[in-house]
Structure 1
């Protein structure tokens, strides 16, 4: 499974670099992103509840392949931290999940026509994430850490799937440079852990990017 994943990453990276180098390929834009995320966990395990938002971070490459003037297939290669926490109602024990993924989303981007260098867009599609690191902090009744940075990688699912919806705006900052900002909701629908019961992680991203 991991060999297949590495092959996908290499193929995607090669495609992005090759497309960017083609002067005749006018329908492609390459960009960089770095922005905060705010993650949370939904639980269907009896006696275990989600316990609010936790901040994370994402950064990486973005690629938009325009197949029409206002429509694009949008993907990326990002390293994303999705944090969240749960609380056991019987013991008040809090578990903080610190999960890091390589994300390769596949979305459709719908844009308005550009007016005075400004255009708006909406996005919808599938998120594909592959876990590369998983740590956990545990807090007791006093809210003091009982354990910190416990390695739980073997207990976390390697693949995470999600539905992505987002909206924002792009502004022309030069002949080819564009700045983008907006909000993205990444709604996880697969179990993030192995074993009985289900925990699903989601996050809201404050999207910031620059396209070249």
Structure 2
């Protein structure tokens, strides 16, 4: 009898765990505005000079480990970049030089989504926090895949930047239940790059303390099923 009761308890617990664990998969599109936070000592005078508008998107996977709690990940394509200005100390009396940068990344979010109870019929709010791991797949400087420096050296534009990035992600939005297993969502998210993605000025030119980091604000629109 004891063995039968123990088996029943384990079976019931396993069923409850399976029932509470739910995976929702969907697609999203994310128009965004990004910029490059460029800083340096006064001699180089690095500074942000413009933003980049782009559109990305990809797969969304929400794994629920509670009624209102989910581990959220996926796979998405995104473009980041912007324009910055700087001085070239090797050129006496050099005016401010400018670079317009566009970087393409494949990204994997590693986040947690927290949902409220229904604030209206079939409507919930959500809050998302965590990180994003990004891999560089391409890059352009001033619209070109190759960049020629003032000293006539030509290199691939993407080689000027770190092959990967890691950032923090915070967002909020609203989710609406359309049917038994179909949901639509809309939200806004902020992506704060933590790594200095510059390789050219630091490694090649040997500029000291130059830092270029990604910043992005995105509108997240999607459908889960």
TM tier, shorter chain? 0.7 to 0.9
TM-score normalised by the chain length of structure 2:
0.76
Assess if the C-alpha contact under 8 Å between 1:183 and 1:205 holds in 2: yes
Equivalent in the alignment of 1:8 = none
Q: Deviations over 1:91-118 (max 9, x none)?
A: 2322111100000010010000134110
Assess if the C-alpha contact under 8 Å between 1:56 and 1:83 holds in 2: no
> Using the alignment, how far apart are the partners of 1:99 and 1:25 within structure 2?
40
> Using the alignment, how far apart are the partners of 1:100 and 1:108 within structure 2?
25
Residue in structure 2 matching 1:28, options 23, 26, 35: 23
Equivalent in the alignment of 1:69 = 67
Assess if the C-alpha contact under 8 Å between 2:144 and 2:157 holds in 1: no
Assess if the C-alpha contact under 8 Å between 1:102 and 1:132 holds in 2: yes
Gaps of 5+ in 1: 1-22, 138-146
TM-score normalised by the chain length of structure 1:
0.80
Assess if the C-alpha contact under 8 Å between 2:25 and 2:61 holds in 1: yes
Q: What does 1:88-107 align with in structure 2 at a 5 Å threshold?
A: 88=86, 91-107=95-111
Structure 1 position 163 matched with structure 2 position 168: yes
Gaps of 5+ in 2: 1-17, 88-93, 147-155, 203-209
Assess if the C-alpha contact under 8 Å between 2:76 and 2:106 holds in 1: yes
Equivalent in the alignment of 2:55 = 57
Equivalent in the alignment of 2:193 = 188
> Cα RMSD between the aligned structures?
1.8
> Using the alignment, how far apart are the partners of 1:84 and 1:56 within structure 2?
11
Q: Which has the larger radius of gyration?
A: 2
The SS at the match of 2:159 is helix
State the number of aligned residues: 181
Q: Decide which moves more: 39-48 or 198-207.
A: 39-48
> Using the alignment, how far apart are the partners of 1:120 and 1:203 within structure 2?
22
Residue in structure 2 matching 1:117, options 112, 122, 125: 122
